Amino acid sequence: MDISIPIVGFIFVCIIFPKIVKTKPQFYMAFGVTLIILLLNVVANLTSSVAVSTTGGSTGFAKFLLILRDVLWIVDFILLVLATGGLSLNELSGELKGAYEVMRRGEDVKTVIIPLTGEKPKSREDAAAERAARSVQMPITPKKDESERTIPLD
């Protein structure tokens, strides 16, 4: 299946309706990657047609260009998802991880744990500071020798 037609069509839809695009730099990167892919197509077609006419088969360089083109289609697709969703790559990977955890458990929504006392959960920084405070050891005081003990005579 060739994914070039839907991606180029979606780019045109984003140009017609610019409100769809939430992150313009990512959209322009996707547009640039699409142009690079189209150039790779031209070069791959030229090298494979020359190789077919001279040797009867495609060359390794043409195969490399086609593989690079397919990898760039994946990158282009991800960039368009990020541009229209207004996400960063880190946010997208976090969303995908959360969705995977929910599906792995066989649920359809993520389980949220609410404290019983109604207090807000501690932030990660507060929890880390509390763990660090607990891990600090108190100075050890030397024990007194048992022979120095006296019995009170009261």
Least confident span in 60-69, 94-103, 144-153? 144-153
- Would you say residue 44 has pLDDT above 80? yes
| Residue range of the domain that includes 56 | 20-94
Task: Identify whether 38 is part of a domain.
Answer: yes
Handedness of CA 119, 122, 126, 128 (dihedral sign): positive
For residues 79 and 26, the answer to whether their CB atoms sit within 8 Å is yes
pLDDT for residue 114:
63
Report the C-alpha gap between 76 and 15 in whole angstroms. 16
**C-alpha closest to that of 62 among 33, 32, 42, 38:** 42
Task: Identify whether 119 is part of a domain.
Answer: no
Task: Identify whether 24 is part of a domain.
Answer: yes
Q: How many domains does the chain have?
A: 1
Task: Identify whether 78 is part of a domain.
Answer: yes
Task: Identify whether 132 is part of a domain.
Answer: no
Task: Identify whether 121 is part of a domain.
Answer: no
For residues 44 and 69, the answer to whether their CB atoms sit within 8 Å is yes
- Would you say residue 56 has pLDDT above 60? no
Task: Identify whether 151 is part of a domain.
Answer: no
Task: Identify whether 146 is part of a domain.
Answer: no
| 68 vs 123, more confident | 68
For residues 33 and 82, the answer to whether their CB atoms sit within 8 Å is no
- Would you say residue 11 has pLDDT above 60? yes
pLDDT in tens, 79-115: 888 888 888 888 878 877 777 777 777 666 666 666 6
Q: How confident is the model at residue 36 (pLDDT cuts 50, 70, 90)?
A: very high
Q: How many CB atoms lie within 10 A of CB 65?
A: 22
- Would you say residue 58 has pLDDT above 70? no
